[in-house]
Amino acid sequence: MAAGYPSIVRLSSLGQSLEKRNIYALKISDHPGQRENEPKVAFLGCHHAREWISVEVPLEIASYLIRNYENDERVKAIVNSSEIWIIPLVNPDGLDYSILNYRLWRKNRRLNDNGSFGVDLNRNYSFYWGADDLGSSPLPSSETYRGEQPFSEPETSAIRDLFLNVNFSAVISYHSFSQTILYPWSYADLPAGQELLFQQLASELARLISQVNGRIYQTARSSSAYLTNGDFIDWVYGLFDIPALTIELPPVDLTAGGFFNSEQDIQSIAAENLPAALYLLDWAISTYNHQEGQLNPERKNQLEKSPGNSLKNKRVRLTGQEGSN
């Protein structure tokens, strides 16, 4: 993509994985080699190795924007007015192992002290890392092992460094499965300060998705099903105060295929998620404060932060379970 469209695409490596594979990012913009005063939106996939479909959706978003740039006025306006970052494969080592050895592998390929392998990258971010042993596990053999310390893994460190260097306006992290759009908080069953905004965004994304193939995505606070600490969207919202959503892609449950998607499903899932991605890009552009180089809080529906935004003196719910996020 970058080689074919160098005027609007720049390919870079954010760093290398534990096994020295590149963690690639595509930057799509009208001046991809420059840093402009524009909203920046990121779409990430494959924190978890077995969630193959989460790679395909951000790649299709990139392909759609690039292919339609010259002939679609909406796409051209989006690309000319923003910077779109596509990081389709956060966990390249895990994906390679999932493809070649064990299809249901989830974590990265860290060799732990007890001889087991893997850290759950979506428990390795610093925000409320290790807050309890329900939202993540201290046990290296667990599917939700959080690592020895926050950002112990080169994969999460690469994402951290990107976000500390680029002032993003909104983020979607793709996972599978359950057909759900999730928003913070994940670490505790508490409303985020921007919960009303998150509900509005998630509902609109779900509505747009349903119009393509008729598939219904539920919307919910991430902690409503189970607790997750040290995860990506909590870290993004907690540190940068921007909308950060997880989209759990189809199918809806194990009986419908779980982590296994047919080729036909892959194409339809990618297609139905395009309108939602375009909407979020339009939203980021319309709410961007060019003078300050950040989101304009007055244009985020003039929402006031709720008491749930305070992270002190809150009671963490003492129930939870391991899940697919």
**Whether 248 is catalytic:** yes
Q: Which of 101, 150, 95, 140 is closest to 117 using CA atoms?
A: 140
Lookup: tokens for 70: 């010259």
Distance CA 72, CA 274 (A): 14
Query: Which one is catalytic: 38, 51, 60, 248?
Result: 248
Q: What length does the chain have?
A: 325
The H or E element spanning position 276 is helix 263-286
Q: Distance of CA 48 to CAs 55, 259, 288, 299, 316, Å?
A: 10, 11, 31, 34, 25
DSSP string for residues in 84-121: EEEE--S-HHHHHHHHHT-TT--S---B-TTS-B---G
Burial call 210-225: b when 16+ CB within 10 Å, e when fewer: beeeebebebebbbeb
Going by the DSSP 8-state scheme, the letter that residue 201 receives in this structure is H
Lookup: tokens for 205: 């994304």
Distance CA 140, CA 116 (A): 6
Burial call 296-311: b when 16+ CB within 10 Å, e when fewer: ebeebeeeeeeebbee
Beta strand pairing call for 180-183 and 218-221: parallel
Lookup: tokens for 272: 């139905």
Distance CA 75, CA 81 (A): 10
Residue 141: strand pairing partners:
none
Q: Which residues participate in catalysis according to the annotation?
A: 248
